[in-house]
Amino acid sequence: MGEDGRASGRACGYDDDTVSGNVQRREMTGGITMTCETVEELAGAYALDALPEDELDALNAHIGVCPRTHLSLQQLAETAELLALISEESLPPPSLRQRILDAATADLEVPIPAPVLLHQRSAHRQNGTRTAGFRFSRMIWLPAAAALAALALGLGIWGAGERAQLSQRTTALHSNQTVLTALAAGATVVQLPGSGARQPALLVQPRGGGAAYLVADAPQLPDGKVYEAWYINGPNVALAASFAGSASGPQVIQLSGPLTNARAVAVTIEPKGSTTPTGPKILERTLS
Amino acid sequence: MSSEPSDEELLAGMGAQELSALDSLYSRYGGAAFSLAYQITSNRETAEEVVQESFFAAWRGAATYKPERGAARSWLLGIIHHRAIDMVRGRNARGQTVPLDEQLPIASKDDLWSAVKQTLDREEIRRALVTLPQEQRESIELAYFGGLTYPEIASRLGVPLGTIKSRLRLGLEKLRLRLTEMSAPEPEAR
């Protein structure tokens, strides 16, 4: 400790030159001078999580390089943690437990069935004639439907009662060759757990980049309401897609970019034209 | 000998992706977690979100939990507190940018304090808090449960920054001393 009561650079193993030690410290902590003495003064605020962000960053930077133990930080933090036990008792809703378990379940690795190899639609089909090309093109839907069925059953997307209608549902998707081709080529598939009893959806990220897709069985909404998918990256939230839902089964919706653009994806119900998420969240997933 | 797994054993189970371990940990601390989150945020929906995100973060981070960083209970409730504070301050969860195992300083290895913590119940902690000078208690409560930074507390109470820093530090030191005294065994009668 220096003659004026301020901590010297020696305390932290810097050069004997106090000035250069402080300059080093100042540079490391983005403009805030953080000495050992300052750390001790702030120990109580630190323990109670009451430091402004810039001071917290500076303090963390200091203790990251300071050889002193700063025991007070540890002891006061241990004391503060006990305050968590004296909160006024409030009962959580019974559904909260299941939501937590559902989120953790969705986070577990789910084996994806190997997609069936798809054939390209023949360019030589002749209308009304059972040519080899026509037969070839008819073969597209069977493997595609089988691939999607395997995917759905493997991931448990649709309930047992709905499996009987699977062929009807996959018919709605038969035009989405892009997604089916992406699945065949080894796309990444991420389950998007729903809240409560809502069915989960899927995110499909084609290998090699490009826009991702959302596969969701979302019921049609009343007039004036839409589903909106969001890419969330820290404090930044960007609209990734807007869709109305469908009475005829699952839809495939193209999102505004690859999943690498987001740290989390969520789907909410919004008024048509909404540009910020304000409505109830029905699906969400943290990606990183 | 208790047949119940310890908190640390449950975290190890979560690190091994055992949902039953997560379920058990929630059974133990879900109530305390929600109570803390609700007291800080004053909003049930926000508190639910805090608890859900925190337990999910604990699920994902359980494999990185290090016992030398502190007791599992402290680790978990610390996550709850950080996230609730972030919500109050309008920040995205700090846990997304700071690895969970870096949020708490290394435990002080104070064997006496470790024993003290295990024996204290909520009423004893409340009683100890009440014995603090009113201005220290008020400042601590504004920080911990109100989510205010120390400059905000200084502004609200109309006192200098240095005064609040001292109140927080001295108040916690006094609380620690009081709790240690309360947990000391009674001297044997002669």
ipTM for this prediction: 0.83
CA end-to-end span of chain A, whole Å?
44
- Closest CB to A92 among B51, B78, B165: B51
Q: What CA–CA distance (Å, rounded) separates A99 from A148?
A: 27
Q: What CA–CA distance (Å, rounded) separates B146 from B155?
A: 14
Average pLDDT, chain A: 69
Q: How confident is the model at residue A137 (pLDDT cuts 50, 70, 90)?
A: very low
Do residues A261 and A233 lie in contact, with contact meaning Cβ atoms separated by under 8 Å?
yes
Number of Cβ within 10 Å of residue A3's Cβ equals: 6
Q: Mean pLDDT across the stretch A113-134?
A: 33
Q: Which chain B residues are closer than 8 Å to A85 by Cβ? A: 32, 77, 120-122, 125
- Closest CB to B36 among A76, A84, A105: A84
The pLDDT value given to residue A269: 86
Q: What CA–CA distance (Å, rounded) separates B47 from B52?
A: 8
The pLDDT value given to residue B112: 58
pLDDT exceeding 90 applies to what percent of chain B? 57
CB spacing of B175 vs A79 below 8 angstroms: yes
Q: Which of A143, A125, A146, A145 is nearest to A134 (CA)?
A: A125
Residue B28 distance to chain A (closest CA, Å): 12
Res B117 pLDDT > 70 = no
Q: What CA–CA distance (Å, rounded) separates A94 from B114?
A: 33
Q: What CA–CA distance (Å, rounded) separates B87 from B91?
A: 6
Q: Which chain B residues are closer than 8 Å to A87 by Cβ? A: 32, 35-36, 38-39, 145
The pLDDT value given to residue A224: 84
What residue in A sits closest to B83 (Cα-Cα)? A49
- Closest CB to B168 among A50, A53, A86: A50
Q: Which of A191, A145, A192 is nearest to A168 (CA)?
A: A145
What residue in A sits closest to B36 (Cα-Cα)? A87
**Cα four-point dihedral sign A173, A176, A178, A181:** positive
Q: Mean pLDDT across the stretch A160-174?
A: 43
CB spacing of B81 vs A49 below 8 angstroms: yes
CB spacing of B52 vs A96 below 8 angstroms: yes
CB spacing of A41 vs B169 below 8 angstroms: yes
Q: What values do phi and psi take at B69, rounded to 5?
A: -80, -10
CB spacing of A107 vs B70 below 8 angstroms: no
Token pair of A171 as six digits: 């018919």
Do residues B71 and B116 lie in contact, with contact meaning Cβ atoms separated by under 8 Å?
no
Res B96 pLDDT > 80 = no
Maximum alpha-carbon separation in chain A = 100
What DSSP character marks residue A194? B
Token pair of A247 as six digits: 């009475």
Answer left, alpha or beta for residue A284, where phi above 0 means left and psi between -120 and 50 means alpha.
beta
Q: Which chain A residues are closer than 8 Å to B125 by Cβ? A: 82-83, 85-86
- Return the ∠ at Cα A200 (arms to A199 and A206), rounded to 5°: 145
Beta-sheet pairing, A225-233 with A236-243: antiparallel
pLDDT exceeding 90 applies to what percent of chain A? 15
Residue A233 distance to chain B (closest CA, Å): 10
Average pLDDT, chain B: 84
B26 vs A254, higher pLDDT = B26
Burial pattern A62-78, b for ≥16 Cβ within 10 A else e, equals bbeebeeebebbbbbbb
User: Does residue A43 belong to the interface with chain B, where contact is any CB pair within 8 Å?
Assistant: yes
Q: Which of A94, A139, A148, A109 is nearest to A121 (CA)?
A: A139
Q: Mean pLDDT across the stretch B1-13?
A: 84
The pLDDT value given to residue A280: 81
CB spacing of B59 vs A107 below 8 angstroms: yes
- Closest CB to B56 among A43, A63, A104: A104
Q: Mean pLDDT across the stretch B17-22?
A: 92
B133 vs B181, higher pLDDT = B133
Q: Mean pLDDT across the stretch B79-86?
A: 92
The interface residues of chain A toward chain B in range 109-138, judged by CB-CB distance below 8 A, are: none
Q: What CA–CA distance (Å, rounded) separates A47 from A32?
A: 19
pTM: 0.56
Q: What CA–CA distance (Å, rounded) separates A16 from A181?
A: 67
User: Does residue A240 belong to the interface with chain B, where contact is any CB pair within 8 Å?
Assistant: no
CB spacing of B51 vs A90 below 8 angstroms: no
Res A153 pLDDT > 50 = no
Using CA atoms, how far residue A115 sits from A111, A152, A183, A186, A187, in Å, is: 12, 11, 6, 8, 10
Number of Cβ within 10 Å of residue B1's Cβ equals: 2
CB spacing of A235 vs B91 below 8 angstroms: yes
Answer left, alpha or beta for residue A219, where phi above 0 means left and psi between -120 and 50 means alpha.
beta
User: Does residue A279 belong to the interface with chain B, where contact is any CB pair within 8 Å?
Assistant: no
**Cα four-point dihedral sign A174, A175, A176, A178:** positive
The pLDDT value given to residue B17: 87
Q: Count how many pairs of residues, chain A against chain B, have C-beta atoms within 8 Å.
A: 182
Highest mean pLDDT pick, A47-61, A104-118, B65-79:
A47-61
A160 vs B59, higher pLDDT = B59
**pLDDT tens string B141-159:** 999 999 999 999 999 999 9
Write out the E strands in chain A: 188-192, 201-205, 213-216, 225-233, 236-243, 251-254, 264-271, 281-286
Q: What CA–CA distance (Å, rounded) separates A94 from A78?
A: 31
Q: How confident is the model at residue B190 (pLDDT cuts 50, 70, 90)?
A: low
The pLDDT value given to residue B153: 97
Q: What values do phi and psi take at B35, rounded to 5?
A: -60, -45
Q: Mean pLDDT across the stretch A163-181?
A: 52
Res A84 pLDDT > 80 = yes
Res B114 pLDDT > 80 = no
CA end-to-end span of chain B, whole Å?
33
- Closest CB to B48 among A43, A93, A286: A93
Maximum alpha-carbon separation in chain B = 60
The pLDDT value given to residue B94: 42
The pLDDT value given to residue A184: 66
Res B30 pLDDT > 90 = yes
The pLDDT value given to residue A147: 43
Q: Which chain B residues are closer than 8 Å to A82 by Cβ? A: 117, 120, 125, 179
The pLDDT value given to residue A18: 43
The pLDDT value given to residue A164: 38
Res A279 pLDDT > 70 = yes
Q: Mean pLDDT across the stretch A210-214?
A: 86
CB spacing of B167 vs A44 below 8 angstroms: yes
A100 vs B89, higher pLDDT = A100
Q: What CA–CA distance (Å, rounded) separates A239 from B39?
A: 33
The pLDDT value given to residue A197: 43
Q: What CA–CA distance (Å, rounded) separates B49 from A58?
A: 30
Highest mean pLDDT pick, A67-71, A157-161, B22-26:
B22-26
**pLDDT tens string A214-262:** 888 888 888 888 889 999 888 888 999 998 887 777 788 889 888 887 8
Q: Which chain A residues are closer than 8 Å to B164 by Cβ? A: 45
The pLDDT value given to residue A48: 96
Answer left, alpha or beta for residue A48, where phi above 0 means left and psi between -120 and 50 means alpha.
alpha
**pLDDT tens string A266-277:** 888 888 888 888
A183 vs A132, higher pLDDT = A183
**pLDDT tens string A85-115:** 898 889 999 999 999 998 888 877 543 333 3
> How would you write B108-124 as a 3-class SS string?
CCCHHHHHHHHHCCHHH
Q: What CA–CA distance (Å, rounded) separates B116 from B71?
A: 13
Among the residue ranges A119-128, A205-214, A243-252, the one predicted with the least confidence is A119-128
User: Does residue A91 belong to the interface with chain B, where contact is any CB pair within 8 Å?
Assistant: yes
Burial pattern A219-253, b for ≥16 Cβ within 10 A else e, equals eeeeeebbbbbbbbbeeebebbbebebeeebbbbb
